[in-house]
């Protein structure tokens, strides 16, 4: 097992439906550590960078509109094999396909309204954490 970092974004649906505490509690109960947390509104620039892999797709404006519809809570989550384990806890991206007991199965609605983003690899975890957090915003304790 390797200690890793994952960026978690509690999406606008999670924030507006007051599910942040429940989702964070699941991560903490699984043994992961919060190393950084902040609420923010996402700019066009950060969204274009974060979603650059789909920025040329016709649905990209919908992603931007949704992700800017309310603040998000950005989290640096640390732990052994955190990337794979968190993605398992979340369930598939499409909440309609997610099993009950997974975060998306319990709280998500569809492909976009799916509670949270999580890094998809340890390498992307480091890249995404650096995109949303300065080093002085990440804490060891």
CA R_g for the chain: 14
3-state secondary structure of 31: coil
Pair of tokens at residue 34: 């919060």
Beta partners for 4? Answer: 79
Q: How many CB atoms are closer than 10 A to CB 69? A: 14
The set of catalytic residues is 117
Helices (H), 3-121: 12-16, 20-29, 44-50, 60-67, 82-90, 103-107
């Amino acid at each position: 097992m390797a200690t890793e970092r994952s960026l978690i974004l509690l999406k606008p649906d999670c924030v507006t439906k007051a599910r942040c505490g429940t989702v964070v509690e699941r991560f903490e109960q699984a043994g992961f550590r919060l190393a950084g947390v902040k609420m923010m509104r996402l700019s066009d620039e950060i969204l274009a960078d974060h979603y650059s892999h789909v920025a040329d797709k016709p649905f990209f404006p919908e992603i931007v509109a949704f992700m800017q519809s309310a603040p998000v809570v950005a989290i640096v989550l640390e732990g052994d094999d955190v990337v794979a384990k968190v993605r398992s806890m979340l369930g598939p991206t499409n909440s309609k396909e997610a099993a009950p007991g997974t975060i998306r199965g319990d709280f998500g609605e569809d492909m976009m309204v799916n509670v949270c983003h999580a890094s998809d690899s340890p390498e992307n975890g480091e890249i995404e954490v650096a995109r949303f957090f300065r080093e002085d915003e990440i804490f060891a304790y």
